[in-house]
Amino acid sequence: MEKFTTLQSRAIPLQIENVDTDQIIPARFLKATDRKGFGDNVFRDWRYHKDGSPNSDFVLNNSKYSGSILVAGDNFGCGSSREHAAWAITDFGFKVVVSSFFADIFKGNALNNGLLPVQVSETFLKTLLTQIENYPETTIEVNLESQTISVKGLDISAHFDIDSYKKTCMINGYDDIDYLVNNIKLIEAFEAEKTY
Amino acid sequence: MSKTLFDKVWDSHVVNTIENGPQILYIDKHLIHEVTSPQAFNELEERGIPVLRPDQIVATADHNTPTQNQDQPIKDEFSRKQLEQLSENCKKNDITLYELGHKYNGIVHVMAPELGVTQPGITMVCGDSHTSTHGAFGAIAFGIGTSQVAQVFASQCLLLTKPKSLRVTVNGNLKNGVLPKDVILYIIAKLGTNSGTGYFCEYAGNVFEDMSMEGRMTVCNMSIEMGARGGMIAPDQTTFDYVQGREFAPKGEDFKKKVAYWKTLPTDTDAQFDKEYHFDAQYIEPMVTYGTNPGMGIKISETIPEVSDASFEKSLKYMNFKKGESLINKPINFVFIGSCTNSRIEDFRVAANYIKGKQKADNVTAWLVPGSKQVEAQIIEEGLKTVFEDAGFELRQPGCSACLAMNDDKIPQGEYCVSTSNRNFEGRQGQGSRTILASPLVAAATAVEGKIIDITKQLN
């Protein structure tokens, strides 16, 4: 897994609530057997019309906005457990997703792929979205060590929570398999003694 | 200390706790399918890690399989390759696979309970969010991502933080024609799609106690649609009777011992939940959804609420519905009875009972897709297939089918589909398709009438 410490980038505002994983990557693209290439189809049915032409109304097609931070509406990533959604977002080039609420499974999948979910208050999210929409050149800084997200040059910042174990994993690029495999003896002992 | 059902099962599976971090949770059963497992097998292979407990894994092919001509080679190259890879991976790693055409093949959340793989008091995972279904047995069951599939392959464990607890209690008498699907759609409509996020939900009250195991599975299945990682119902005599005698269920003395243990699992009377909701069964009616998430549901006789909100309006625009509008008399050209929510024998009995002696409306394309080969066999055995065919319905072969439309069972652009599945997201049943979630009874009535009708008028 890629390490994550800090990131300074412009951001793309996605003013939609309840973005489900079927929108992030529609089921018809789940036939691949590796993890690569899903970025081409991220938000496919919002980005493109059925005839394959780009939908100019969709924010990812708006050249005003760019960057590796996606700022999205409440309850991001709900629905299916498909990790393809996290793969599609990272493959497209995002390293951070900001929202006021994340669905559980998506959040876990993101953390397992070096994609940092930054959960902020609804008020802060609104401020951030307004700032980016009015000033697309705005630079956002995300610092995992200090658990802060801030707008560069302005007095707009917030603290975000992250499980301390997951934080260590992200900073060092470790994943859960490493940890679990190192604990096989403990797991085998549990199996030998389990009471249920 | 008093414990909830969830606490009892969770606590008995904790291998270790990391200081200021998650716990190592032991997983008893791991279900896999073709779509979310290949990358996990690849990862293990790349890292040279073996599958630790192949005998605790059960595999099936369901998401990406055709529902016609299953005996013939699959036409779609990518789908075929994905199924071939599943077979290869299972063979290489000594994992039991019920592949396409096998008498035990079916949707993972239908076939595992049928085979007795699902049992009270165990932990179960699958790379599919509707794994919550198995909570109907008093198991902790939840969906995981592919990285976690790899973790379970490697260690039979997951690193998790214990979720908070939520209890939804429904007491009272359900009205005639109100099915388990209506109960869960009602709960989600009341609580919203993220009310359960961060929680594991227990369903309690006489409404769930009186339900069959199949009804309980329908309810627990949709827990994820309110954001809860899983749902659970306390195991009782209904549960024990269902499990007894199934292929992988404990037998003889072993079964008796298990039952004695399972009886200790229900929530202690004075146990505390982090959040509680109570509903009265008499207010629940047959439900339909009008929007693009499962929380956007109304009683079939109600009108679409007047809400001023950009996401709400975007959703109605997609569905081509208006605020204040009723769905009664909306012409419907597609009906789907199937999915891990409603593709068990009782669902087809409900549909057949309504359809018997009637004819499908000419404008309707109706797909009836059993959840498993065993359900399919039972439909034939009980004579339901004849009822369906006499009425002009098409009974297809088992699979996830039009619930997520990975195969050819797609609803065309702009068309409405009254569907017994679990998600009405944009394009879920095919690009541009518009899904209206409902019970098998409402779906059957829609197919016969060619439009949505107020089923309550026929029932009362």
Q: Which residues from chain A sit within 8 angstroms of residue B157, using beta carbons?
A: 180, 183, 187
Among chain B residues, the shortest Cα distance to A48 is held by B431
Tell if the CB–CB gap between A81 and B406 is shorter than 8 Å. Answer: no
B93 Cα distance to chain centroid:
28
Interchain contact, B148 vs A79, CB within 8 Å: no
Mean pLDDT, range A38-54, rounded to an integer? 96
CA–CA gap between residue B113 and residue B72 (Å, rounded): 28
Contact B332, B452 (CB under 8 A): yes
The DSSP H or E segment spanning B201 is: strand B199-204
Predicted confidence at residue B460, as pLDDT, reads 65
Tell me, what's the pLDDT at A2?
86
Query: Helix, strand or coil for residue B60?
Result: strand
- The answer to whether the Cβ–Cβ distance between A177 and B47 falls below 8 Å is yes
Average pLDDT over residues A131-140: 97
* Residue B56 DSSP symbol: G
Which candidate, A182, A194, A167, places its Cα nearest to that of A6?
Answer: A167
pTM for the whole thing? 0.96
Residues of A in contact with B128 (CB under 8 A): 80-81
Secondary structure of chain B: what % helix, strand, coil (to 5)?
A: 35, 20, 45
Average pLDDT, chain A: 96
Q: Tell me the average pLDDT of chain B.
A: 97
At A94-127, the pLDDT tens digits run 999 999 999 999 999 999 999 999 999 999 999 9
Q: Tokens for B111?
A: 């076939």
Does position A171 have pLDDT exceeding 70, yes or no? yes
pLDDT of residue B144: 97
> Which class for B159: exposed (0-12), middle (13-18), buried (19 or more C-beta within 10 A)?
buried
Q: Do B154 and A30 touch (CB under 8 A)?
A: no
Contact map slice: B 48-107 vs A, CB within 8 A:
49, 52, 63-64, 76, 78-79, 81-82, 85
Residues from chain B that touch A196, judged by Cβ atoms under 8 A, are: 9, 12-13, 121-122, 261
The answer to whether the Cβ–Cβ distance between A176 and B261 falls below 8 Å is no
Interchain proximity B150–A183, CB inside 8 Å? no
Residues 7 through 66 of chain A touching chain B, CB cutoff 8 Å: 15-18, 20, 22-23, 26-28, 30-35, 45, 50
B273: helix, strand or coil: coil
Q: What is the pLDDT of residues B99-135, one digit of tens each?
A: 999 999 999 999 999 999 999 999 999 999 999 999 9
**Tens of pLDDT along A47-57?**
999 999 999 99
Residue B145 to chain A, least CA–CA distance (Å): 5
Q: Assign residue B58 a region: left if phi > 0, alpha if psi is -120 to 50, beta otherwise? A: beta
The interface residues of chain A toward chain B in range 85-114, judged by CB-CB distance below 8 A, are 86, 101-105, 108-109, 112-113
Count how many Cα atoms sit within 13 Å of the Cα of residue A58 in the half-sphere of its side chain. Answer: 14
Residue of B349, B295, B326 whose CA lies nearest to B185? B295
Q: Is the Cβ pair A187, B404 closer than 8 Å?
A: no
What gap in Å lies between CA B211 and CA B79, rounded to an integer? 37
- Put simply, the answer to whether B193 touches A75 (Cβ < 8 Å) is yes
- Give Rg (Cα) of chain B: 21
Report which of A7, A16, A11 is spatially closest to residue A136, judged by C-alpha positions. Answer: A11
Q: Residues of chain B whose pLDDT is less than 70?
A: 460
- Which DSSP category does B142 fall into? E
Assigned token pair, B223 = 């827990």
What's the Cα-to-Cα distance from B448 to each of B129, B263, B281, rounded to whole Å?
32, 44, 28
